[in-house]
Amino acid sequence: MIWLAWRQHRKQLLFTLLGFAALAALMVPIGLSMRHSFTELGLPDCVSQLARSDVDGAAANGCESAFRQFTNRYQSLNLVAVLLVVLPVLVGLFWGAPLVAREVEHGTHRFAWTQGVGRTRWALVKFGLAVVVTVTLAIGYGLGMAWWVSPLTQAAHEGRLGFIVFDLQGIAPIGYTLFAVALGIFAGTLWRRMLPAMGVTLAAFIGVRAAVAILARPHYQAARTRTFPIEGAEPLQESRGNWVLASGVRNPDGKMVAADTRIMCPPGGKGPDGHRCGEELGLQPGAYNWELYQPADRFWLFQWIETGIFVALAALLLYLAVRRIRRIA
């Protein structure tokens, strides 16, 4: 059986590996040059400095501008990162969807499933190998992307928990890729034709991924809040690495006055026409900045939760696919 699967899919595997090699040939030089600039601008020191709480203002300002310089130079690469997020679904489309659908479309399932091993065994071996290949590819992808994207992530405020970068690295890609492949296989057992199966896989993958990322992920753990005054001598400290879910300025009674903004006035500062800081917005004395966030050190916890969700979904889909296969003739 394993021999059959290998013989059947060796070309596909070769093309996949070639595609990966081509991608690596493109990405590795970019990644190297990005890391070179990162070191040249002295950013590794900045990262460790800013991680401390007692960082002095001048050094922080210098670092911020160096980060800005780096970000400006490599900003366009964020687009590349977005494009790379689609890789798992491609694996699902080209490995998952045809696995059963192509057999049925060509009628070869009537040959394969009437041999001595039977179709359940056939399905288990095929799905098992698909899972092994998928996990291997996804581990390579996750490690490679973590290496590639880390300068961009460190330079950005939201850190590794931010959208897109969270999805690119660590173990989450394993979950996504497994889910995409399982979805493709299951869609293939339902529609039994490659193109509809691929279309359904694409649509369902995007839907589920977006729903989990937007609706579920911010709530894996209760978010923390941070408050700080709207008046102070220090320039506004941006939080680094934390994933800010919501922010705004609140009055002392807790009422949100201005959402999605922050205010910082010098101590006792007055506006041009003698107003108190933020008075024209309706801020009362004692108003404060408010932030709801997931702290940066929850990265791995969130990765495990996210991966767990998608692996569980993948397992469910594969189970359903094995059951569906018994009903195909």
Partner 1 sequence: MEIALEAEQLGKRYGRTWALRDCSLRLPAGRIAALVGPNGAGKSTLLHLAVGLLRPDAGAVRIFGEAPYANPSVLPGIGFVAQDTPLYRDFTAAELVEAGRRMNKRWDGALARNRLAQLGIPPKLPVGKLSGGQRAQVALALALAKRPRLLLLDEPVASLDPLARREFLQSLMGSVADSETTVLLSSHLLADLERVCDYLVVLQAARVHLVGAVDDLVATHRQLVGPRHGGEPIDGVDAVVRASHTARQSTLLVRTSGDILAPEWTVHDVTLEDLVLAYLAEGETTTSHAAWEVPA
Q: Is position 110 an interface residue for partner 1 (rule: CB under 8 A)? A: yes
By beta-carbon proximity to partner 1, the closer residue of 101 and 314 is: 101
C-beta of 130: minimal distance to partner 1 in Å? 17
Binding piece for partner 1, criterion CB under 8 A, among 185-193, 234-242, 295-303, 321-329: 321-329
Integer distance in angstroms from the first to the last C-alpha of the chain? 20
E-state strands within 130-269: 224-229, 243-250, 256-259
Q: Is position 106 an interface residue for partner 1 (rule: CB under 8 A)? A: yes
C-beta of 12: minimal distance to partner 1 in Å? 11
Q: In the window 121-140, what residues touch partner 1 (CB under 8 A)?
A: 121-122
Interface with partner 1 (CB under 8 A), residue total 26
By beta-carbon proximity to partner 1, the closer residue of 112 and 320 is: 112
Torsions phi, psi for 240 (to 5 deg):
-110, 130
By beta-carbon proximity to partner 1, the closer residue of 131 and 325 is: 325
DSSP letters for 248-311:
EEE-TTS-EEEET----B-TT-B-TTSPBTTGGGTPPTT-EEEEEEE-GGGHHHHHHHHHHHHH
Binding piece for partner 1, criterion CB under 8 A, among 3-11, 92-100, 235-243, 308-316: 3-11
SS3 content of the chain, % helix, strand, coil (to 5): 65, 10, 25
C-beta of 104: minimal distance to partner 1 in Å? 10
By beta-carbon proximity to partner 1, the closer residue of 68 and 106 is: 106
Structure tokens given for 162: 């931010």
Structure tokens given for 104: 């049925």
Of 298, 18, 34, 16, residue with least CA distance to 145: 34
The one-character DSSP state at 94 is I
Single-letter code of the amino acid located at 102: R
By beta-carbon proximity to partner 1, the closer residue of 2 and 259 is: 2
Binding piece for partner 1, criterion CB under 8 A, among 149-157, 229-237, 282-290, 320-328: 320-328
Q: Is position 116 an interface residue for partner 1 (rule: CB under 8 A)? A: yes
Beta partners for 270? Answer: 276
C-beta of 114: minimal distance to partner 1 in Å? 4
Tell me whether strands 288-294 and 224-229 are parallel, antiparallel or unpaired: antiparallel
By beta-carbon proximity to partner 1, the closer residue of 52 and 327 is: 327
Chain centroid to CA 237: how far? Answer: 26
Q: Is position 114 an interface residue for partner 1 (rule: CB under 8 A)? A: yes
C-beta of 191: minimal distance to partner 1 in Å? 17
C-beta of 126: minimal distance to partner 1 in Å? 12
Find the binder of partner 1 among 39, 120, 136, 225 (CB under 8 A).
120
By beta-carbon proximity to partner 1, the closer residue of 85 and 129 is: 129
Find the binder of partner 1 among 219, 224, 255, 326 (CB under 8 A).
326
Of 247, 239, 246, residue with least CA distance to 218: 246
User: How far is residue 321's CA from residue 145's CA, in Å, rounded to a whole number?
Assistant: 31
Beta partners for 248? Answer: 259, 290
Find the binder of partner 1 among 33, 108, 136, 261 (CB under 8 A).
108
Point out which residues bind partner 1 (CB under 8 A). 1-4, 7-8, 106-108, 110-122, 326-329
